Amino acid sequence: MSDFSNLSSLQLDALREVGNIGAGNAANALSLMLNKKVDITVPQVKVVPLEEVPDTLGGPENIVVGILLRVEGPAPGSVMFLLPQNQAFELVDMLMMREKGSTQAFAEMEQSALKEIGNILTGSYLNALSYFTKLTLQPSVPAVARDMLGSILSIVLAEIGQFSDYALLIETEFLDGEDGITSQFFLVPEPDSLPILFQALGLT
């Protein structure tokens, strides 16, 4: 198995469970950091062809903010945490305890806040995956990019496109009171990583 295209329902269920547990861990970490309750839900977990990623965020010309990381360890891959620019502004407002609508640009402080959420979210999902697989998976230092989605993807795909044609999409919704912020979290494992992960999960 070299890509996600032929996963069984049992394998997808296992990945959904990892997503839900990771979201719970991330919510706890954020709530402690902000000293207020933040809920994170996972409305859906699915496999998408990389060529369809732009459609999940409004098309290749849509301005988005991306938090990009590498996954290092026995099952390496890449992570893309993507959200539309206006949702990124709202997420920064939430993280920095600002009134909604305050953030209108991404200076160093705002980028640091986004890197922190990238660290928390990726770390939480990888910790959940590591717990089930007993594999040590570590995220790299995150990078933040703001550009048209097509431009960001071209940079990422130049690195990971040679490895896989599919990505695992974990839709992630941040809830702060009545406000919801929906983002897309993509995990793109290298082909040799999938058999390692599923063997460790007992799903080969």
pLDDT of 132 strictly over 70: yes
The pLDDT value given to residue 13: 85
Q: Using one digit for the tens of pLDDT, what is the confidence trace for 44-94?
A: 888 888 788 888 888 889 999 989 888 999 999 888 889 899 989 988 998
Split at pLDDT 50, 70, 90, the class of 204 is: low
Tell me what percent of the residues of the chain surpass a pLDDT of 90.
14
Cβ pair 75, 138 in contact under 8 A: no
The pLDDT value given to residue 154: 81
Split at pLDDT 50, 70, 90, the class of 97 is: confident
Tokens found for residue 115? 């890197």
- List b or e across 129-162, with b for residues whose CB sees 16 or more CB atoms inside 10 angstroms: bbebbebebebeebebbbeebeebbeebbeebee
Residues in the chain: 204
The pLDDT value given to residue 4: 65
Q: Among 95-104, 124-133, 157-166, which stretch is predicted with the lowest mean pLDDT? A: 157-166
Q: Where are the beta strands (DSSP E) in the chain?
A: 39-41, 45-49, 63-72, 77-84, 138-139, 143-148, 166-176, 179-189
Which residues have CB under 8 Å from 21's CB, separation 6+? Answer: 128, 131
Options 3.40.1550.10, 3.40.630.30, 3.40.50.720, 3.20.20.70; CATH of 9-200: 3.40.1550.10
Q: Among 4-8, 98-102, 134-138, 177-181, which stretch is predicted with the lowest mean pLDDT? A: 4-8
Tell me what percent of the residues of the chain surpass a pLDDT of 70.
93
What residue ranges do the domains of the chain occupy? Answer: 9-200
The pLDDT value given to residue 162: 57
Choose among 51, 53, 18: nearest CA to 198. Answer: 18
In this structure, the number of other CB atoms found within 10 A of the CB of residue 22 comes to 25
How much is the average pLDDT of 116-121? 88
Question: Any idea what DSSP says for residue 119?
Answer: H
Alpha-carbon dihedral angle through residues 201, 19, 136, 153, given to the nearest 10 degrees: 120
CA 122 to chain centre: 6
Q: What's the CA angle centered on 164, arms 163 and 166, to 5 degrees?
A: 165
